Amino acid sequence: MEQLKGLVGLLEGGRDPVIPQTLAKCAVTAGVQQATISKVLELDSFRDMDMIMPREVIIILITMSGRTLKDVLSSIFEVFCKSAGVIDCPDFVDLFNILAYQDQGTLVSEALREEVEKAFVDLPPVTLSDIFENPSISSVL
């Protein structure tokens, strides 16, 4: 996860779109294997894109290493936490929505995505414990 955290740093949070070549170069600089980033960028959702949202690619890379929703959420926090183990709720909701979209129902159902969006959209920054203690999420862990 350190490589992905480094990638987030190189891309200043990964919120702004970049060209695929820039994303690949930053990923390799951060320590992601060239073959791994190339494989992800060849997926249908990125193959013909002129610009890519780095967070989408980073979430896919996270899901490649996590087997369960709990693992993936832990990794999201490890990679995207700025300080003190917290994430702003709008950022968490955005990352969770990306996870739900990229995951296509394997770990995150549409109903869960909607519940999380409603539960977290207006809260102050949250910790991983806050996420795990939320009834919507704790019920599926």
Q: Greatest CA separation found in the chain?
A: 41
pTM: 0.91
**Residue 141 to residue 128: CA distance in whole angstroms:** 13
Q: Which letter does DSSP use for residue 48 in this model?
A: T
**Residue 9 to residue 119: CA distance in whole angstroms:** 28
Question: CB neighbours of 4 closer than 8 A, spacing ≥ 6?
Answer: 30, 32, 58, 61, 62, 75, 79
Question: In this predicted structure, what is the pLDDT of residue 105?
Answer: 66
Question: In this predicted structure, what is the pLDDT of residue 16?
Answer: 92
Q: Per residue in 107-126, is it b (16+ CB within 10 Å) or e — as a string?
A: bbeeebbebbbebbeeeebb
Question: In this predicted structure, what is the pLDDT of residue 115?
Answer: 93
18 pairs with which residues across the strands?
52
Mean pLDDT throughout 40-47? 90
pLDDT-based confidence at residue 31 (cuts at 50, 70, 90): very high
**Residue 67 to residue 55: CA distance in whole angstroms:** 19
Query: Higher-confidence residue: 66 or 79?
Result: 79
**Residue 14 to residue 52: CA distance in whole angstroms:** 10
**Amino acid letter for position 100:** A
At 104-126, the pLDDT tens digits run 767 888 899 999 999 998 889 99
